[in-house]
Amino acid sequence: MFNGESETEKVLGMFWPPKIDELCFVLKFAKVSLGVLSGNRRPTKREVLSHTMSIYDPCGFLANIVIKSKILLQELWRVNVGWDSPIPDDIYRKWYDWYMELTDVEKISVPRCYHSNFTDPNSHVDMLVAFSAVVYWRICYLNEVGVVFVAGKSRCRPIKPLSIPRLEL
């Protein structure tokens, strides 16, 4: 600590080291069993959900990481796994690979300030709002993994205001 300032502050649920002025992630999985976190035991569907929902990301910076676990949860629903039953081996391997990727999340940081001249009166700032989605095939063959783009779609925000349910369509 220096002059009464802590090295890291908590701002809107995210972590902010004032010296570098960037938002960062600190993942804590207090409600997930140590046996699951150490890889000694397969998690249950309930624990996979708890683990996924423990990642607090209000701005969506980790959306590409969290979506992988949400897809695995969909698979668990499809194969009708009970809430307190261990997940099947094939899904466990995918989940554990995803869990191991989470160690890199703490290396991610995002500048808190959009731009050094953001508030300067000489700057012209426009907010461009768009919606987008991408669909791709992930093909695993023997020991190789390939990703192939299928389609992408994007739209600008409509000029005429729409209701939230209509926007979600």
pLDDT digits (tens, 9 = 90+) for 118-161: 778 888 877 766 777 888 788 888 888 888 778 877 676 666 77
Q: Do the Cβ atoms of 105 and 29 come closer than 8 Å?
A: no
The answer as to whether 87 is a domain residue is: yes
Residue 1 clears pLDDT 50, i.e. is over it: no
Beta 130-141 vs 144-156: how paired, if at all? antiparallel
The answer as to whether 164 is a domain residue is: no
Residue 168 clears pLDDT 80, i.e. is over it: no
Higher-pLDDT residue of 95, 4: 95
The answer as to whether 83 is a domain residue is: yes
Residue 43: HSE in the Cβ half-sphere, 13 Å Cα cutoff: 27
| pLDDT classification of 167: cutoffs 50, 70, 90 | low
Gyration radius from the chain CA atoms: 20
The answer as to whether 77 is a domain residue is: yes
Residue 168, H or E segment: helix 164-168
Both tokens assigned to 166:
């209509």
The answer as to whether 42 is a domain residue is: yes
Residue 84 clears pLDDT 90, i.e. is over it: yes
The answer as to whether 36 is a domain residue is: yes
The answer as to whether 162 is a domain residue is: no
Higher-pLDDT residue of 94, 166: 94
What is the C-alpha separation between 52 and 144, in angstroms, rounded? Answer: 27
Number of domains composing the chain: 1
For residues 8-15, average pLDDT? 77
The answer as to whether 4 is a domain residue is: no
Domain coverage including residue 79: 9-115
Q: Do the Cβ atoms of 72 and 91 come closer than 8 Å?
A: yes
